[in-house]
Copies of this chain bind each other. A is one copy, B any other.
Amino acid sequence: MPDYAIGVDMGGTNLRIAAITTEGKLLEKITLGVKLALGRDYVIGEMCDAIHRLTEQYRESGNFVGAGIGVPGIIDVEAGMMRKSANLPGWTDYPVRDVIERRLGARIFLDNDANVAALGEKWLGAARDVDNMAMLTLGTGIGGAIVLGGKLFYGLSGMAGEFGHVTIEPNGVPCGCGNHGCAERYASATAVVRMAREAIDSGLAPELAKAASSDPEFSAKAIYNLAIQGNPDAQRIFQRFGQALGILHSELVNILDLDMFVIGGGVVSAWDAFAPKMFSELRERSLVYAASAPEDPTGKKEGASAQIANYTRRKTIITQALLGSDAGLYGAAKLPVSQ
């Protein structure tokens, strides 16, 4: 029987723990609600119990090589510490890895949720055949990660891949990070709702206003549904979303010229509503993309596309993630497998 690892994906709502073979086969997955209100130690206790249960269960199956844990926030990977997390305020500067390592007597790896999602897509998902890729996860904000030569690229402070806070509009909407016009202020679930609220407040989007007043949870999903039903105000929001992602990707492609950019996270399900605008923006803005992009299916050549010949047979690929919400679970399990 093959050896196996444990992957843990800790979100704001769910705590998921899976036993996965070193070949990438799922053995078993446990999903728990995260009881943040009961405190850090309680949540860590539940996580350790679940890991222990799985390792007991698969004891005979193969060697347990260790567990990887993906958490939201800024992580010091070398130290195995949580530095800062908006969702987990009581975890600041907490030595998560060492605490769990001591309790379980196993090798534990801690990493950021965007990094483990990228590692999952690289291992078993959309990017399995490329070595240099970046991943963007569109959710409440935008998470980002870079894989180079098949390995996560951390940078000087472990913060490489902060795509959500890349400026795409220097005088744009203020962001909690202190900057103005960050990508995630235009291309995230939060941004979709903000733009809808602003359209409603302007008095120019009566159908959105009607939808909002009859839906107490008025969410990005609801606004997407209106867009695919043909509501022009909702469509305009996803055009802005696509334009922002196109500008962001034009910057990423011009800077990094990677083989593949994988877009995941919950909001990627609105792909049809934002992707055409994203691609047209990218073709116009990035000479590097234009030089190596697949032909535009519509045959249009504007901006950068009109300026440079498509001289390479290599193609920059921008595509949807394949593993959905399991990317982080698989990627976390890959952490002990890669080491």
Q: What residues of chain A have their CB less than 8 Å away from a CB belonging to chain B?
A: 74, 76, 83-84, 132, 144, 146, 148, 153-163, 165-170, 176-180, 247, 250-252, 254-259, 284-288, 290-292, 302-309, 311-312, 314, 316
Contact of A179 among B169, B256, B259, B285 (CB under 8 A): B285
Top 9 A-B pairs ranked by shortest CB distance? A155-B257, A178-B304, A178-B303, A160-B257, A178-B307, A162-B254, A157-B292, A179-B285, A159-B288
Q: Determine the chain B residues whose CB is within 8 A of the CB of A158 once the complex forms.
A: 257
Q: Determine the chain B residues whose CB is within 8 A of the CB of A159 once the complex forms.
A: 254, 257, 287-288, 291-292
Tell whether, in the assembled complex, residue A179 and residue B251 are in contact, meaning their CB atoms are under 8 Å apart.
no
A300 to chain B, nearest CB (A): 12
Q: Determine the chain B residues whose CB is within 8 A of the CB of A259 once the complex forms.
A: 156
A309 to chain B, nearest CB (A): 8
Tell whether, in the assembled complex, residue A247 and residue B170 are in contact, meaning their CB atoms are under 8 Å apart.
yes
Q: Determine the chain B residues whose CB is within 8 A of the CB of A284 once the complex forms.
A: 178-179
Q: Contacts A256-B255, A258-B155: A179 and B84 contacting too (C-beta < 8 A)?
A: no
A127 to chain B, nearest CB (A): 13
Return the chain B residue nearest A315 by Cβ: B156
Q: CA of A308 to CA of B305 in the docked complex: distance in angstroms?
A: 39
Q: Contacts A287-B178, A303-B178: A169 and B166 contacting too (C-beta < 8 A)?
A: no
Tell whether, in the assembled complex, residue A247 and residue B314 are in contact, meaning their CB atoms are under 8 Å apart.
no
Tell whether, in the assembled complex, residue A254 and residue B157 are in contact, meaning their CB atoms are under 8 Å apart.
no
Q: Determine the chain B residues whose CB is within 8 A of the CB of A285 once the complex forms.
A: 167, 178-180
A199 to chain B, nearest CB (A): 20
Q: Determine the chain B residues whose CB is within 8 A of the CB of A168 once the complex forms.
A: 167, 170
